[in-house]
Chain A
Amino acid sequence: MKSNVKSLLSNLQELNETNTIKVNVPSLGKKVDFTLASVSQQKELIRTVFDGVDGVIKRTNILNKLITDNCIAEGVEFLITDRPSILVDIRKNTIGSTYKHKDVEYDLNDLPAINAKSFKLKKKVTHEGITVNLKVPTLTLDSEVNKKVETEFSKITDEQEKVKNSLDLVVAFETAKYVTDVTIGDESLSFDDISVYERRQIINNLPLALNNKILDYIGTIKEATDDALTLADEVVVEIDANFLSSD
């Protein structure tokens, strides 16, 4: 690489570190400094549009990585409930606050803040002697599990088969993200100590009634994050491949 290119890249990196934006992180209850998204992050996101079902999972991980990489403060454990607010703030600072849906323009500044009272950060559910502790997953855990889903998806070569199996696969892995431990009688198992695959196996073997309670809890969080992305006319802001590149 030529020395003037190296020098320009170094200037660019310096500039990127100083050109920061304030981003609201709900779980911390304050604004945190972030660097702007880069063109390479933007391109990586756009490329997922060509990856079909796999692209949806990849996209979530790309966005999670963008959040953790661009946060200047170190060691922040973001929750998945922080994601809408952070991404919307990054989007507003990248291409502006206008959001177009079916040729109608909306302003992302009109989005409500996530209602932290509408869900619990932790919850205990029980059924016939089985106790399951739940909590809102971190982005780190979300990405870790998503990578396993990606691997599972890659094993299915037929695209139609992939679509057919995606719901079952995603629900099982998604549920595993929220469980911290399972206690049956005197025996307790921390999900931190077992593999993602083992977590999924345990989830698949829980009684249906208990599973439904877990899904109810996940539902409250999903509803809260959806509400935080809902504009007037019930228009939900889609965090898709073009989220950082077009209105």
Chain B
Amino acid sequence: MAFNVEVVLPSGRKLRVEELKNRDYLDIVKFCSNKDMVGLAKFFDDTFIDQDLNIIERFYLLLYIRMLFIEPDITFNIDQRDVKIDIATMLNKIEQSYIDLERTIVEGGIEVTLDLPKVSFFENIDDLYLSTISSIKVGGEVISFADISDEEKVEIINNLPATIFKHFQNFVQTIQDNLLDVALIEENKSLGVEALEINIVSNGVMHFISMLYNTDLEGFYNLIYNFQNTILPGSNLFFELSPIETQIILNAHQKRVAEENERLQKQQQ
């Protein structure tokens, strides 16, 4: 079993998430560099995200992984100064703004349970409506949307009476009214930090995640090269480490090199 950690999501739900390895991080950085939000969202969905998680839980989880396995802070360069903002504060903000909006509507003998969208990225408006449906009951049959394919979801939706649609629209409006602008970063005038608010139910979430995970791809390749050739020559361990472990080992290596250089300098004197 690979190393994993328990995460308590804003909804109170607990799950265990596996450590982010460098081999996955390299793929993530490539998606970010290509500005391929659809690909990035699919990668996260396949690697870390349980399809039953809603968009806020997904956002929370990805921030958590970033904090735990890459770096606990985000660094902004403002007026040639590095300003660090800790991700833990952002996670607190998300926890505070989390609202359970689940509701069941009944229209013409059809019972539909709506909840926060269970999706990471919306490719079109249909994705938004489809992802807000948790389950549907007609006659005695109940279908959980988490258990069926996208094609089956579309088939069911297409056969619903259009009278249902206004409930979907109202529900999406309710989500927008409650979660339109969640303040993730508060303004700090003395540090020159502007407030950052994010519409949780939008593709802005994945763009923000991409910004947090992105790093210089060329620098990443240099790191791989240096790691495999100088720090741990002949080893393939790099890809099995998390980015934060890599940084710790790199720091230890740099410290040792600095100490050796210092020792050599002293010997030469």
Residues of A at under 8 Å CB distance from B?
A: 1-2, 4-5, 7-9, 11-16, 19, 35-43, 93-96, 244-246
Question: Given A11-B138, A11-B139, A19-B109, is A246 in contact with B160 using a C-beta cutoff of 8 Å?
Answer: no
A42 touches B143 (CB 8 A): no
In the bound assembly, the distance between CA atoms of A36 and B156 in angstroms comes to 16
Chain B residue at minimal CB-CB distance from A42: B162
Min Cβ gap B142→A in Å is 8
- The one of B126, B139, B158 in contact with A38, judged by C-beta atoms closer than 8 angstroms, is B158
Question: Given A4-B143, A7-B141, A8-B143, is A39 in contact with B166 using a C-beta cutoff of 8 Å?
Answer: no
Chain B residue at minimal CB-CB distance from A35: B161
Chain A residue at minimal CB-CB distance from B109: A15
Question: Given A37-B162, A39-B162, A246-B169, is A8 in contact with B156 using a C-beta cutoff of 8 Å?
Answer: yes
Question: Given A2-B148, A39-B157, A246-B169, is A15 in contact with B162 using a C-beta cutoff of 8 Å?
Answer: no
Chain B residues, Cβ within 8 Å of A36: 108, 161-163
Chain A residues, Cβ within 8 Å of B140: 11
A16 touches B158 (CB 8 A): no
Chain A residues, Cβ within 8 Å of B110: 12, 15
| B183 at the binding interface (Cβ < 8 Å) | no
Question: Given A8-B143, A19-B109, A246-B169, is A13 in contact with B162 using a C-beta cutoff of 8 Å?
Answer: no
Chain B residues, Cβ within 8 Å of A15: 108-110, 138-139
Chain A residue at minimal CB-CB distance from B151: A1
B interface, size bucket:
20 to 34
| B165 at the binding interface (Cβ < 8 Å) | yes
- The one of A16, A37, A94, A245 in contact with B169, judged by C-beta atoms closer than 8 angstroms, is A245
Question: Given A1-B152, A8-B138, A11-B138, is A16 in contact with B159 using a C-beta cutoff of 8 Å?
Answer: yes
Chain B residue at minimal CB-CB distance from A14: B139
Question: Given A4-B143, A8-B138, is A245 in contact with B158 using a C-beta cutoff of 8 Å?
Answer: no
Chain A residues, Cβ within 8 Å of B65: none
Chain B residues, Cβ within 8 Å of A8: 136, 138-139, 141, 143, 156
In the bound assembly, the distance between CA atoms of A94 and B161 in angstroms comes to 8
Min Cβ gap B138→A in Å is 4
Chain A residues, Cβ within 8 Å of B165: 39, 42, 94-95, 244-245
Chain A residue at minimal CB-CB distance from B161: A36
B126 touches A94 (CB 8 A): no
